[in-house]
A and B are shown apart, each in its own frame.
Chain A
Amino acid sequence: MNAVKLKKGASSFSAYDLKNFSGDTEETHTLAVLVDNEAGVLARVIGLFSGRGYNIESLTVAEVDHESNRSRITIVTTGTPSVIEQIKAQLSRMVPVYDVHDLTVEGPSVERELALFKVLGKGDKRLEALRTAEIFRARVVDSTLESFVFELTGTPEKIDAFAEMMQPLGLEEVARTGVAAIARGH
Chain B
Amino acid sequence: MSRQMTGADIVVQALKDQGVDTVFGYPGGAVLPIYDAIFQQNDIRHILVRHEQGATHAAEGYARSTGKPGVVIVTSGPGATNAVTGLTDALMDSIPMIVLSGQVPSFMIGSDAFQEADTVGITRPCTKHNWLVKDTEMLAETIHEAFHVATNGRPGPVLVDIPKDVQFASGNYISPAKADLGHYQPRVKGDKDAITALVELIEKAKKPVFYTGGGVINSGKGASQLLRELVKATNFPITSTLMGLGAYPASGDNWLGMLGMHGTYEANLAMHDCDLMICVGARFDDRITGRIDAFSPKSKKAHIDIDPSSINKVIHVDVPIIGDVGHVLEDLLKIWKSRGRKTKTADVKKWHAQIDQWRAVDCLAFKNSDKIIKPQYALQRLEALTKGMDRYITTEVGQHQMWAAQYLGFEEPNRWMTSGGLGTMGYGLPASVGTQIAHPDSLVINIAGEASWLMNMQEMGTAIQYRAPVKQFILNNERLGMVRQWQELLHGERYSHSWSEALPDFVKLAEAFGGKGIRCTDPADLDDAIMEMLNYDGPVIFDCRVEKHENCFPMIPSGKAHNEMLMGEEDTQGVIDSGGAVLV
A residues near B (Cβ < 8 Å) are: 1-11, 13-19, 21, 36, 39-40, 43-44, 47, 51, 82, 85-86, 89-90, 92-96, 98
Contacts and interface: CB of A to CB of B under 8 A. Distances in A.
9 contacts: A2-B565, A3-B566, A8-B492, A9-B576, A17-B292, A86-B309, A93-B153, A93-B308, A95-B149
B143 to A, nearest CB: 15
Contacts of A15: 486, 490, 558
Nearest to A48: B125
Interface stretch (B234-242, B437-445, B567-575): B567-575
B254 to A, nearest CB: 23
A13 B184 contact: no
B309 A89 contact: yes
Contact of A7 (B128, B361, B564, B575): B575
Interface string B279-314: 000000010001111000000000000011101110
Contacts of A1: 265, 361, 567
Nearest to B128: A95
A96 B131 CA distance: 11
Given A21-B293, A47-B124, A90-B309, A6 B492 contact: no
Interface centre among B128, B308, B311 (most CB of A within 10 A): B308
Nearest 9 pairs of A and B residues by beta carbon? A9-B580, A9-B492, A9-B576, A89-B309, A95-B129, A7-B574, A17-B559, A2-B563, A4-B564
A7 to B, nearest CB: 4
A15 B261 CA distance: 11
A40 B568 CA distance: 51
Given A2-B563, A89-B308, A98-B183, A11 B584 contact: yes
Contacts of B581: 9
A40 B313 CA distance: 26
A13 to B, nearest CB: 5
B346 interface: no
A47 B572 CA distance: 43
A44 B124 contact: yes
Contact of A8 (B153, B293, B307, B488): B488
Interface in B242-281: 265, 269
Contact of A6 (B307, B563, B571): B571
Interface string B175-194: 00000001110100000000
Interface in B505-550: none
Contacts of A82: 312, 316
B1 interface: no
Contacts of B293: 19, 21
A89 B557 contact: no
A14 B571 CA distance: 17
Interface string B433-468: 000000000000000000000000000000000000
B191 to A, nearest CB: 16
Interface centre among A2, A5, A98 (most CB of B within 10 A): A2
Given A2-B565, A21-B292, A10 B559 contact: no
Given A21-B293, A86-B313, A7 B577 contact: yes
A4 B567 CA distance: 9
B121 interface: yes
